[in-house]
Amino acid sequence: METKVVELNLCGLALADYKGKPSTLCPGCGHNSISAQVQNAVWELGLPPERYIKLSGIGCSSKSPNYFLDRSFGFNGLHGRMPTLASGACFADSSIHILGFSGDGDTASIGMGHFKHVIRRNVPMTYIIENNGCYGLTKGQFSATSDLGLVLKHQGVNMLPPLDMCMEALISGATFVARAYSGDTKQLKELIKAAVSQRGIAIIDVISPCVTFNNQDDALQSYTWGRENEAPLHDFKHFNTREELDEEGFAPGTFREIKMQDGTYMVLRKIDKEYDPTDKNAALDLLTESYKNKYFATGLIYFSESAETIQELYDLPDEPLNRLGVERLRPTKAMLDEINRALT
C-alpha cells in the first residue's frame, strides 16, 4: 500500500494544521477563495498558527476568519471597529501577526474613520478588504464602493459615486497598498504573503464577487467583469529567502527585486508596460486612469519602507504585556518622584 507523503512547512506543520471550519457562505462566494489563500499563504510563510490573531467586524467578510487558522486566537467585533481591536492587540502583544478582515460596508462606510486612523498610526497588521460592492449580509443594499449607475434587484439605481479603497489608503499614508481579484488565486496568495511580511500596515483591496446580490455582468465586482477587465500590473511573487529567489532562475533584466524589512523578497516581473510601485504619484494616476477607463489594475500598487510603527513609537517591549511581572509594570517610588518633579 502506497504511503501518502504529507508536505510540511518550515515549522513542521501540514497545510491541514492551518484549516478552519466549513464555510457557511453562499456557494461560489469570492470570500471563500480569499479564506483558502490566507490559509495557503500563512502555511507557506512557515509560522505556527498560534503566532497569528484574526480580527473582524460585521458582515459576510467578517465571517471569513472562521474558515481558516482554527488554532489562532480571534475576535469578532462591532461594525466598522475592527481597526480598534487591532490597535489594542498590537499594544498588548507586539510579537503576534495581526490579520484583519473587513468588507466594503464595514470599512468604506461606518468604519472609514477607523480605517484612516489605523493607517495614520501605522499599526502593524495585514488589512484585507473583501470588496463585493454591496451589503450582502442584509440582502444586497448598495455600499460605498458600488459603482455609479449600478442597478440591483430590489434596490433600484445607485446615484452616488464609489469610493476607491486603494486611493483612500494611499492618501492616508499606507506604505503597502495592493489590489487583487479573488478569482486570481495565485496572485492573491503571493500578495498576502508579502503583506504579512510588511513591517507596518499593509492594505489589500480584494474584489470579491457576491454571487447572490451583485454578480450581473456589468457590475464592477462581478465574476464576468473581473475576468474580462483584470489587468495585472506584473507577475508578482514573494520569497522567504534569497536562496529561494535564486533557485527560480529569473533571466537578468526581466524582473524587479524589492527586499523587505524582514529580509524576505518581492519579485515583480513586467507584463506589458513599465510601472514603478515605489512612485506614489504614479500609483494615484494609475487608480484614476483605471477607473476612468473601466479596467481593473491588480497587483502591488504602492510600496515603501515603513515609517515607525506605533509599537516602535511608544517603545513597547517585545514580551506580551500580560506576561510582564509586577516589578516591570509598576513604577518605583523613585520613578514616580522623578515624574512629579518634571511636572512642577
Is residue 153 within 8 Å of residue 215, measured between CB atoms? Answer: no
What number is the average pLDDT over the span 326-342?
89
Measure the N-to-C terminal CA separation of the chain; round to a whole number of Å: 81
User: Domains in the chain and their CATH numbers?
Assistant: 15-313 (3.40.50.970)
CA-based angle 46:47:48, to the nearest 5?
A: 120
Tens digit of each residue's pLDDT (9 = 90 or more) over 245-281: 888 877 777 788 999 988 989 999 876 678 899 999 9
What is the Cα–Cα distance from 344 to 342, expressed in whole angstroms? Answer: 6
What is the structure's pLDDT at 137? 81
Task: Spell out a b/e string for 98-109, using b for 16 or more CB atoms within 10 Å of the CB, else e.
Answer: bbbbbbbbbbbb
What is the Cα–Cα distance from 78 to 119, expressed in whole angstroms? Answer: 19
Indicate if the pLDDT at residue 146 is higher than 90.
Answer: no
Confidence class for position 1, pLDDT limits 50, 70, 90: low
Is residue 123 within 8 Å of residue 47, measured between CB atoms? Answer: no
Cα torsion 275, 276, 281, 284: sign: positive
What is the structure's pLDDT at 300? 96
What number is the average pLDDT over the span 286-301?
91
What is the structure's pLDDT at 251? 77
The continuous run of DSSP H or E covering 251 comes out as: none
Confidence class for position 153, pLDDT limits 50, 70, 90: confident
What number is the average pLDDT over the span 110-116?
95
What is the Cα–Cα distance from 290 to 286, expressed in whole angstroms? Answer: 6
Q: Which residue has the cell 466549513?
A: 22
The continuous run of DSSP H or E covering 110 comes out as: none
Closest by CA to 132, choosing from 205, 67, 76, 195, is: 205
Q: Are strands 126-131 and 97-103 parallel, antiparallel or unpaired?
A: parallel
Tens digit of each residue's pLDDT (9 = 90 or more) over 55-109: 999 998 989 999 999 999 999 999 999 999 999 999 999 889 999 999 998 999 9
What number is the average pLDDT over the span 274-291?
93
Closest by CA to 166, choosing from 190, 191, 183, 137, is: 191
